Chain A
């Protein structure tokens, strides 16, 4: 049977600690390898940090919903927020081949998300960003 955890976070960076704890607990409950737990925590941290830091132009409180689901050998995530439209798949990839001196600072977070997940799908619907992520447990 699927194990599903849904978290509702507010748009404050300290709330990400709760997310990290939930990922750790979920991963340990199912005996995921350390690397997998770390990478999943990292991906969610990068995405949510972006949404909270850049997604809202008002001073109001917003809710961000994160769902984690274990289905067979797949770990599925859904992130839903009412921030400004942002499709991480459209972001430019950072240049990781330039020399140290010329290497740009930034863009790394989204790059890590795309590399560490097996599948990333974005949709904008009813004024909300919805991001679906998938990673096969290994």
Chain B
């Protein structure tokens, strides 16, 4: 998995690319911890180029959300591929994560 970080105002945007699974989820977990240390409170994960996620990847998302909430932060997701949406639903994640169709909408969602 590759990961590009950019800033849009005070929103830290993580553009993810590839697979989010047992081999790669640690990269994202470490990145989230970095962002928390830097004091960012608004994090957006862009799933546009994520073509696979398993329960290890999903677990990292929940961990990130819990850590951010503990620090009065927020985490939103965007651009999840259609074929992966049912798995997010079954996991109960559509209830706890704000999920947007586009990155722009997600950034606006923080306002």
Please report A residues at the B interface, Cβ cutoff 8 Å: 13, 33-35, 38-39, 41-42, 45-46, 49, 96-97, 100-101, 103, 105-106, 108-109, 111-112, 115-116
Contact = CB atoms under 8 A, between A and B. Distances in A.
B41 to A, nearest CB: 15
Contacts, number: 59
B90 interface: yes
Given A101-B69, A111-B90, A112-B90, A41 B52 contact: yes
Nearest to B59: A105
Contacts of B65: 100
Given A13-B22, A112-B87, A101 B66 contact: yes
B101 interface: no
Nearest to B23: A13
Contacts of A13: 22-23
A105 B21 CA distance: 15
Interface stretch (B4-12, B31-39, B78-86, B102-110): B78-86
B92 A96 contact: yes
B82 A108 contact: no
| Chain A residues touching B, majority SS | helix
B102 to A, nearest CB: 20
A13 B23 CA distance: 9
A123 B87 CA distance: 27
B71 interface: no
A100 B69 contact: yes
Contacts of B96: 100, 103
B66 A39 contact: no
B19 to A, nearest CB: 9
